[in-house]
Amino acid sequence: MFISSAFAQTAPAAAAEGGMLSSLTSMLPLVLMFVVLYFVMIRPQMKKQKEHRAMIDALAKGDEVVTAGGLLGTVTKLGDAYLGLELATGVEVQLQRSAIVQVLPKGSIK
C-alpha cells in the first residue's frame, strides 16, 4: 500500500513537467514559421521600401521617370509631397512623389 501511494504522489508532478515540455515543443513550429516569414517576406519588403524612399528623395529637375500608371515624363517642378511631370511638350501634370516607380537613364525618353 505504501509503495503505490508514493507512486501516486509523484506521478502528477512528472506529468505536469511533461505537459510543460510538450506545450513548448508544440509552440516551436509556430515560432519557426514566424522567423522564416520574417526573413523571407518582411525583411526584403522593408529593404525595398527603404530603397524606394531613397530614390524618391534623390529626385531632381530633369530626371526622366516612370509613374505607377506607366506614364513616362521629365520632372519639371519639385515640392515636398508633389512634383510636376512633363509628359509631352506643353503637357504637364502634377502627381504625388510616391507615384514614381523608376528613374530612367538620361536620354531614355525621346
Fold of 60-104: SH3 type barrels. (2.30.30)
d(CA 51, CA 102): 11
- Taking only the tens place, the pLDDT of each residue in 66-109 is 999 999 999 999 999 999 999 999 999 999 999 999 999 999 88
Q: Under 8 Å CB-to-CB from 7, ≥6 apart: which residues?
A: none
Contacts 24+ apart (CB under 8 A), 39-48: none
* Sheet with 91-96: strands ordered across: 91-96, 82-88, 72-78, 64-67, 100-104
Per-residue cell: 24: 513548448
Structural domain boundaries in the chain? 1-58, 60-104
| 84 touches 71 (CB < 8 A) | no
**Would the pTM count as exceeding 0.75?**
no
Interatomic CA distance for residues 80 and 96, integer angstroms? 9
Tens digits of per-residue pLDDT, 7-64? 555 555 545 556 778 888 889 999 999 999 999 999 999 999 999 999 999 999 999 9
Residue 30 contacts residue 40 (beta carbons within 8 Å): no
